[in-house]
Amino acid sequence: MTDIDDDIDLKTLPDDELVEQMHDDLYDGMRDEIIEGTQILLDRGWNAEKVLNKGLVDGMTIVGIDFRDGILFVPEVLLAANAMKGGMAILKPLLAETGAKPVGRMVIGTVKGDIHDIGKNLVGMMMEGAGFEVFDIGINNPVENYLQALKEHDADILGMSALLTTTMPYMKVVVDTMIEQGIRDNYIILVGGAPLNEEFGKAVGADAYCGDAGVAVETALKLIGERNAVSA
């Protein structure tokens, strides 16, 4: 967006201008600057969630709009995603800070054919922050990966992410396989990703659709609480 970034000393900018500059830097895929901006906002007393939402997620929304409109292309968006991950790496331990024993265990992964992982990573971080133990199995997962991880980690919750209209139907393949194997009701199944909605969540047989990472945490806490109450 700008070509004078080299001249800007991020530390001298007031908060609102720094956030705006971070949006530009994210757009331009400038990982080092995003890491620096993230750290400056934290040093100024912003909490991790605010830095994440205002500095990073809002910036990625602008990238998404220009990607959709054909102004940005895959290589540029990859650089933006890489810059965003630089900031997220700093925020991760802060979002995950908790002394409590695990509330439950979650396996989370992006479905087969889909390599988008920023939203999934965010959900994983927020779940850890809420006291869940999270096993992230990455991207492009066939049903076998989910089933193996659920078993291996003795999980309570399965989380699936999809960002493409072409990959989201795969969630039904996973749920249907779990039904066939008689293990569906052993798990709470949560689904999310930008193109999904509540109706789709119901249609694939998930327990809930989660619009964002905050909702995923709230929903997981609620459903695991209900489950524990029944088994007590």
Where on the chain is the footprint of ligand B1M (CB under 6 A)? 57, 60, 63-64, 67-68, 74, 77-78, 81, 108, 113-120, 122-123, 159-161, 163-165, 190-195, 210, 212-213, 216
Between residues 20 and 212, which has the closer beta carbon with respect to ligand B1M? 212
Tokens of 5: 């970034």
- For the bound state, the minimum distance from the C-beta of residue 9 to ligand B1M, rounded and expressed in Å, comes to 28
- Considering Cα of 137, then 106, then 121, then 167, what sign does the dihedral take? positive
Q: Which is nearer to ligand B1M, 13 or 81 (by Cβ)? A: 81
Work out how close the CB of 227 gets to ligand B1M at its nearest, in angstroms, rounded to a whole number.
16
Query: Which residue's CB is nearer to ligand B1M, number 34 or number 108?
Result: 108
> Position 158: which residue type?
L
Q: Is 182 exposed, middle or buried (0-12, 13-18, 19+ CB in 10 A)?
A: exposed
Min dist. Cβ of residue 7 to ligand B1M (A): 28
Looking at beta carbons only, is 13 or 62 nearer to ligand B1M?
62
Q: CA-CA distance, 194 to 165, in Å (whole number)?
A: 9
